Structure 1
Amino acid sequence: MDQHPDLKKKKKKLKKKKAQLPFRLNILFVTVFLVFSLLIVQLGVVQILNGEEAQRQINQTENTPSEKPVPRGKMYDSDHDLILDNKAVKSITYTPPKNGDSAEGRLELAEDLAEYITIIKDDDELDKTIRERDKKEYWYLKNREEVPDLLTEEERENLDTGDQYQAELDAITEEHLDEFDWTPELLNVLAIKKELDSAYELSPHVVVNEGLTDEEYAQVAEHLNDLSGIDAVIDWDREPLYDGTLSSFFGNLTSSDEGIPRENSDFYLSNGYTWNDRVGTSGLEEQYEHVLRGRKEKVQYTTNSNGDVINSDVVVEGERGKDLVLAVDMEYQSEVDKIVEEELRTAINNPANNTGYLKDALAVVMDPQTGDILALSGIRYDDENDEYVNQAYRTIYDSHEPGSAIKGATVLAGYQEGVIDIGTHMADGMIKIKSTPPFKSHRDLGPSISDIHAIQESSNVYMARIAMKIAGATYRYEEPLYNFDYSAFDTMRNYYSQFGLGVETGIDLPFEASGVTGVDPAQGNLLHLSIGQYDTYTTLQLAQYVSTIANDGYRMKPRLVKEIREPGNGDGSPGKVIESFSPEVLNRVDMDDKYIEQVQTGFRRVFTNGTAQSQWNNFPYEVAGKTGTAQKPKYDYVNDDFVQVDETENLSLVGYSPAENPEVAFAVIVPENGTNNSRHSVHHAIGKRIIEAYYDFKDKSDEEKQEQVENDDE
């Protein structure tokens, strides 16, 4: 059956449209393909040819963080008087960009910065700072086109990049350098560039602070937009307020140039420090670095593609470090320093002082019941400059043989070992061991003396007999000690250590000396150990030792810092307490109470009837303690032989007051005196004045407190 003519026409048109549709789709697909291909090619061009420049622009327009220094925590004395403050220091800093910078860029920046500042103003010092290498590097950067001619192709073949650069510098001659006129202005540019070269990426580096004038600071601050990476900031330095008193215990900081110690850089960097941060390297600055450091202000800068800062936001508010409140009263500390210096000066200027060895006097004062350090004083006479210098650090770093001051510990060791008991009598006659010098007391104290009398009159022989008994030795005149147990050295040192002798005291400082332990186990040396003339101890150890006896056998940890506080509100006093350190008992000596009480009785009689009685007679305050004198031979080379040429004496005095419920303990060491008796009073003079000053300041403090109470009531 034939189709209708109109139906045939419709079918023909439909077939034509179906034939056209694939053709149009193909054109569309080809067009899309070509567009994507062009985009991929363009992306490749950006990544491969222009990637570095594109990344640079991205970095420039990113938010770039920066950190600004804040003041460290302050230190106050026990009366909340400020003793260590911060001093504002104007500084110019440089912070390299995130992806580093070029040497040419730093030179250009140095040239721009040199228009406003001179970082080394003394021409002679400037000449010393700029080395020949610095001048060669400058020539290298200014003559890039001539650098390839410095080495032949053969010379370059076997050199890596670093070696090639060094070889090129070596090839720069004096004739090359003479092309420039090395004026102070040009040398200043080189000095600035050296500082810029020292900076670490994204870490502010101090270009100059010392010697920077207000005008220079203002000039740089005005042109910061033209000096990429440069900032004019306020840095901080430490300012002790008591002319060096106790400053050796405050400690030191690294300089801006040094930054964090490189040997411990991993530790500091992992704890949020940057390379150029200043940190404590000694004393309380190091011990309490985590408290004093503060929180740096963090600023986010937004820059445009030209590197201009278009916005800045403080993302972390800066906060200065926490404050420390010390146990020391600086008025009393200053008075103790004055006492020690005056008495040392008197002793040195004494006409009988003809040995020339006397140079030091050391004193430590502490609270025996809490461990609070009340004063640390060390004065040294500098004979070359004829001046007296405060070197209080010697009280914890220098150790000396103290002599008889430690005899209280020897007697207590004898009690606890069971070789003597309360009331034990022994002869004081001279001891003579074969092949050793005679061993005797400073005078013959009789054929039979008690333990109390031995302490009171400082019997050497009584202590030696205790030592021999601890060693289990049999003594016969002019014969060796039979059955001598050499472990007696360890036994006695173990008892001494319970009082803090020969071990670290635990004071809150990063380092302290523990003294020197003798290494020759000769039998005679055990006798000398028992009277304080073999091992050496620091003045702080002696103060802890006598404090332990005063405190009924409880050894307290010495402490310089009592509290950590929030920064104050600007009225000159510290803020609220964050942490308060309670007194800490390190150990209780392994001895019966009755034995400690017996030694305390002996210590009282030293001052009322014994070796200190003549010096302390009619003293207005009750004091107990022990005197000490240790022979100190002086050796020198004579005809190539190392021989004894002289003899001096270390003088020591330890004590506490009052005898019952003592509140202050002290130790004094005056090493290397002559042997003339006219100078044997220097340690007593220091001790007496220290105790008098303590009670004077205590009375004054009590009066002030009473006045404050009355004022509050009103």
Structure 2
Amino acid sequence: MNDVVRKFNVLFLAVFFLFMLLLLRLTELMLVDGPLYARAAEHISDKRVSVSGSRGWIYDRNGLPLAKNETVFRLTFLDEGLSREDVVALAAKLEAILKTLPRDQNPVYNNRVDILRALDVGWRYVAKTGDEEKARAAIQRLREGTPFRPEEWELKEAPLSDPRYVPRTIPVDLPPEVVFRLEEEIGEYPGVRIETAARRVYVYGDLAPYVIGYTRPVRSTSSKERYDELLSLGYKPEDPIGEVGVEAAYESVLRGVPGTAIVRSNALTREQTLTVEREPAAADNVVLTIDARFQRTVETILAEEIGRINATIPDQKRDPVKEALAVVVDPWNGDVLAMAKAPGYDLNCWNNLDRPECYKEVERGFFNPLLDGKYPPGSTFKPLTVLFGLQKGLVGPNEKIMSTGTYRIGTTVKHDYKPGGHGPTDGLKAIQESVNTYMYEIGMRLYRRVGGVKPAIETVRRFAEPFGLGAPTGIDLPGEGTFLPGGGTEVGRIADMMIGQYDFYTPLEIAQYAATLANGGTRMRLHVVRSINEPVENSKGPGPVRYPIEGEVLNRVDVDPRWIAYVREGMRRVTQPGGTAAAAFAGAPVPVALKTGTAQRVQVTVPGTNRVRYKYDTLAIGFAPADRPEIAFAVIVPGVYSLSGNTAAPIARRIVDAYFGAEPPAPLEPVTKAADRDRAKE
């Protein structure tokens, strides 16, 4: 019995000591390690996030703002670990608020399907119809105001676009009355905040769209690799990034210097604190070489002249000209003063792609013909042909070549545009009257000298390249193309080359060629940015110049200055009596050196008829004043049923008039004022 009692006591003592040890450990856990384990239980973690800096503004050469930032209110959402039911309820409550906005202000995020997609919480509504086209139609009906019917939709899991700790933004600009209402009721919208954001605004809408370019949110990046790369560089999904034009070329300048903040969150990723670690900084501003008023005037001239051409030229009413282009540069430093295409498009539409009218607008921005369009120069190449002939000793300055109206090359007969020809012709007359046969003779003399078509063409190309034809212009814009070589090696091809009917060039190349002739043979790099400027408080002007962008010499042509002067005189005579542009330039405010061109492009049947006709690209290049040029220019009108004398030349004349004050400038009105005026008329 005693042995049993002893064993029981030993067991009791052992259990007692074990209990005391457990009690002591529990006390330690509660009193000493409790806070540590509480934090561990909540999985408190610190995440470093980027804080965007203000994007730089873009100004014209006179300090007019062209692209700026406006502060707007938007909804952001940070997932607080809401259940599926809570998320669905939140989307419905946000729908009730956002659908009160006018549809032109919120064409997409006015329904819970799109709102839930923007919240990006791992759940999405999917139309129950299995047909993709019907599903798109169902979403479109919701956007147009059809009520949400739960029986037509089902919730499905969806992958997250970004980590949960990254705030989501609903890209809708909120008016003040909605902001006030939400602020009063914000507790009813878990995870939702009202925050300020910067919206990129293009002050004059469709002014110089092919120069300025546009931004898109990083989230719109089509490539996941590119998207991940941008995030690694500190961009946030809603940050703007330049896509094309100056916005893209100078992205590193225009992008605000990002700061950093520490976001502390618990196991449910609830944001507890946000501490700014490094303040963001505003970006530098960019000042363009473009003169906004002159640019708008050139755009207006192009649009008006397209209308005139389509209204007055037979068959053009059935098959209208669709576009016209012009580039105007300072030949001494390469400043691009105007770079225009009509029609253009409204840059602000890139922020409103869900609107059908905006999508149609920006379709015109998918391709930049000023940078990468290819056009045959036609007779605007002839000054170079004469220059080539003189420099290579193929013709003399006083030598006269008989123009009878035809020129035989083997079994092929080529023609002048003037029946019966121009008679005895020297180089000056050949440029003034645009004499094909003179150019053919230079080409055939070259052919006989070098012994073949291919070496002859390559010889001409090597001569043309230092003038800008066939070489990159160096323009500070992304996406520049260069010449498209012609094809075929028949003997007649060298004759085609000499009248600009063989190789194709971009408008910028043709403008640079005109500028090189204008300044006497120095090829300047073309550029659209004049300076990078420091930011100033409240964006009051471009700010002090951080560094200017000076004119840069690319090369000087190795040509006798006498021959350049000779060709310039021939171009001056083009606008004088007897010249191909005499009528268009009668009474011009300054003497103008010019060369017109008409390049045969394609043979077509005129719509609605059985008549077959050629369509032409018509051109004009030149500089003014002829003796001491201030501007050089290139004008191109593609798809014309007529000669350049009554299409491109009148445009060039109006551009010269506008620059020298003989034609009043076109109105330059910010889009907001224009919209206010239009609403007042309604």
TM-score calculated relative to the size of structure 1? 0.72
One-letter amino acid of the counterpart of residue 67, structure 1 = S
Correspondence for 2:93 = 115
Seen in structure 2, the aligned counterparts of structure 1 residues 216 and 614 have a Cα distance that, compared at 3 Å, is closer
Seen in structure 2, the aligned counterparts of structure 1 residues 355 and 587 have a Cα distance that, compared at 3 Å, is farther
| Alignment partner of 1:350 is 2:312 | yes
Please provide the CA RMSD for this pair.
4.5
Matches within 5 A, 1:534-549: 534-549=502-517
Write the distance in 1 (CA, Å) between the matches of 2:454 and 2:319: 39
Write the distance in 2 (CA, Å) between the matches of 1:199 and 1:190: 23
Correspondence for 1:375 = 338
Provide Cα deviations, 1:535-554, integer angstroms capped at 9, x if missing partner.
Answer: 22222222111100011111
Matches within 5 A, 1:583-662: 583-609=551-577, 610-635=579-604, 645-662=612-629
Seen in structure 2, the aligned counterparts of structure 1 residues 367 and 575 have a Cα distance that, compared at 3 Å, is same
Correspondence for 2:204 = 242
SS of equivalent residue, structure 2 residue 403: coil
Correspondence for 1:363 = 326
Structure 1 stretch displaced more, 310-319 or 460-469? 310-319
Correspondence for 1:281 = 243
Quote how far apart the aligned CAs of 1:231 are.
Answer: 4.0
1:380, 1:388 within 8 Å by CA — same for their partners in 2?
no
Provide Cα deviations, 1:294-338, integer angstroms capped at 9, x if missing partner.
Answer: 023433344578876554432221223221101111111111112
Quote how far apart the aligned CAs of 1:370 are.
Answer: 1.0
Write the distance in 2 (CA, Å) between the matches of 1:139 and 1:243: 35
| Alignment partner of 1:251 is 2:213 | yes
SS of equivalent residue, structure 1 residue 286: helix
One-letter amino acid of the counterpart of residue 70, structure 2 = K
Matches within 5 A, 1:252-651: 252-255=214-217, 257-258=219-220, 261-265=223-227, 267-302=229-264, 311-350=273-312, 352=314, 353-354=316-317, 356-380=319-343, 393-429=368-404, 430-446=406-422, 448-472=424-448, 483-570=451-538, 572-609=540-577, 610-635=579-604, 645-651=612-618
Structure 1 stretch displaced more, 185-194 or 650-659? 185-194
Correspondence for 2:638 = 671
Write the distance in 1 (CA, Å) between the matches of 2:333 and 2:156: 53
Quote how far apart the aligned CAs of 1:443 are.
Answer: 4.5
Provide Cα deviations, 1:653-709, integer angstroms capped at 9, x if missing partner.
Answer: 11111122211111111222223x7x8423222111111111129999xxxxxxxxx
Write the distance in 2 (CA, Å) between the matches of 1:269 and 1:64: 14
Seen in structure 2, the aligned counterparts of structure 1 residues 664 and 221 have a Cα distance that, compared at 3 Å, is same
1:89, 1:209 within 8 Å by CA — same for their partners in 2?
no
One-letter amino acid of the counterpart of residue 371, structure 1 = G
Write the distance in 2 (CA, Å) between the matches of 1:322 and 1:123: 34
Correspondence for 2:348 = none
Quote how far apart the aligned CAs of 1:623 are.
Answer: 0.7
Write the distance in 1 (CA, Å) between the matches of 2:270 and 2:168: 20
Write the distance in 2 (CA, Å) between the matches of 1:580 and 1:599: 34
Give 2:63's match in structure 1, choosing from 80, 101, 116. 80
Seen in structure 2, the aligned counterparts of structure 1 residues 433 and 297 have a Cα distance that, compared at 3 Å, is same
One-letter amino acid of the counterpart of residue 240, structure 2 = R
Write the distance in 1 (CA, Å) between the matches of 2:206 and 2:409: 50
| Alignment partner of 1:204 is 2:167 | yes
Seen in structure 2, the aligned counterparts of structure 1 residues 193 and 261 have a Cα distance that, compared at 3 Å, is same
SS of equivalent residue, structure 1 residue 487: helix
Seen in structure 2, the aligned counterparts of structure 1 residues 696 and 317 have a Cα distance that, compared at 3 Å, is same
Percent identity over paired residues:
29
Write the distance in 1 (CA, Å) between the matches of 2:273 and 2:320: 67
Structure 1 stretch displaced more, 258-267 or 484-493? 258-267
Provide Cα deviations, 1:192-219, integer angstroms capped at 9, x if missing partner.
Answer: 997x93333543332x122645465556
Quote how far apart the aligned CAs of 1:452 are.
Answer: 1.8
SS of equivalent residue, structure 2 residue 281: coil
Greater Rg over alpha carbons, structure: 1
Write the distance in 2 (CA, Å) between the matches of 1:422 and 1:255: 60
Provide Cα deviations, 1:587-644, integer angstroms capped at 9, x if missing partner.
Answer: 1122222221221121112222422223323323111121112223324699xxxx99
Seen in structure 2, the aligned counterparts of structure 1 residues 276 and 336 have a Cα distance that, compared at 3 Å, is closer
The alignment of Structure 1 onto Structure 2 pairs a total of residues equal to 595
Quote how far apart the aligned CAs of 1:112 are.
Answer: 3.9
Seen in structure 2, the aligned counterparts of structure 1 residues 123 and 283 have a Cα distance that, compared at 3 Å, is closer
Quote how far apart the aligned CAs of 1:115 are.
Answer: 3.3
Quote how far apart the aligned CAs of 1:65 are.
Answer: 3.3
TM-score calculated relative to the size of structure 2? 0.75
Seen in structure 2, the aligned counterparts of structure 1 residues 89 and 699 have a Cα distance that, compared at 3 Å, is closer
Seen in structure 2, the aligned counterparts of structure 1 residues 277 and 240 have a Cα distance that, compared at 3 Å, is closer
Write the distance in 2 (CA, Å) between the matches of 1:500 and 1:268: 36
Seen in structure 2, the aligned counterparts of structure 1 residues 633 and 308 have a Cα distance that, compared at 3 Å, is closer
Correspondence for 2:349 = none
Provide Cα deviations, 1:225-267, integer angstroms capped at 9, x if missing partner.
Answer: 8877654322222211213111232222223642585343464
Write the distance in 1 (CA, Å) between the matches of 2:478 and 2:334: 17
Which ranges in structure 1 are unaligned for 5 or more consecutive residues? 1-30, 141-181, 475-482, 701-714
Quote how far apart the aligned CAs of 1:447 are.
Answer: 5.2
SS of equivalent residue, structure 1 residue 432: strand
SS of equivalent residue, structure 1 residue 647: strand
SS of equivalent residue, structure 2 residue 494: helix
One-letter amino acid of the counterpart of residue 417, structure 1 = K
Seen in structure 2, the aligned counterparts of structure 1 residues 56 and 388 have a Cα distance that, compared at 3 Å, is closer
| Alignment partner of 1:695 is 2:660 | yes
1:67, 1:297 within 8 Å by CA — same for their partners in 2?
yes
Correspondence for 1:69 = 52
SS of equivalent residue, structure 2 residue 554: strand
Seen in structure 2, the aligned counterparts of structure 1 residues 188 and 695 have a Cα distance that, compared at 3 Å, is farther
Correspondence for 1:184 = 148
Matches within 5 A, 1:52-201: 55=40, 57-58=42-43, 60=44, 62-95=45-78, 105=83, 108-109=86-87, 111-112=89-90, 114-116=92-94, 121=99, 126=111, 184=148, 197-200=160-163
Which ranges in structure 2 are unaligned for 5 or more consecutive residues? 1-16, 100-106, 126-145, 346-356, 666-682
SS of equivalent residue, structure 2 residue 388: helix
Write the distance in 2 (CA, Å) between the matches of 1:546 and 1:305: 67
1:260, 1:268 within 8 Å by CA — same for their partners in 2?
no
Seen in structure 2, the aligned counterparts of structure 1 residues 275 and 307 have a Cα distance that, compared at 3 Å, is closer
Provide Cα deviations, 1:546-571, integer angstroms capped at 9, x if missing partner.
Answer: 10001111111111110111222226
2:212, 2:245 within 8 Å by CA — same for their partners in 1?
yes
SS of equivalent residue, structure 2 residue 399: coil
Write the distance in 1 (CA, Å) between the matches of 2:21 and 2:239: 54
1:301, 1:312 within 8 Å by CA — same for their partners in 2?
yes
SS of equivalent residue, structure 2 residue 216: coil
Write the distance in 2 (CA, Å) between the matches of 1:282 and 1:596: 37
Seen in structure 2, the aligned counterparts of structure 1 residues 117 and 633 have a Cα distance that, compared at 3 Å, is closer
1:556, 1:587 within 8 Å by CA — same for their partners in 2?
yes
Quote how far apart the aligned CAs of 1:406 are.
Answer: 1.3
One-letter amino acid of the counterpart of residue 286, structure 1 = A
1:75, 1:82 within 8 Å by CA — same for their partners in 2?
yes
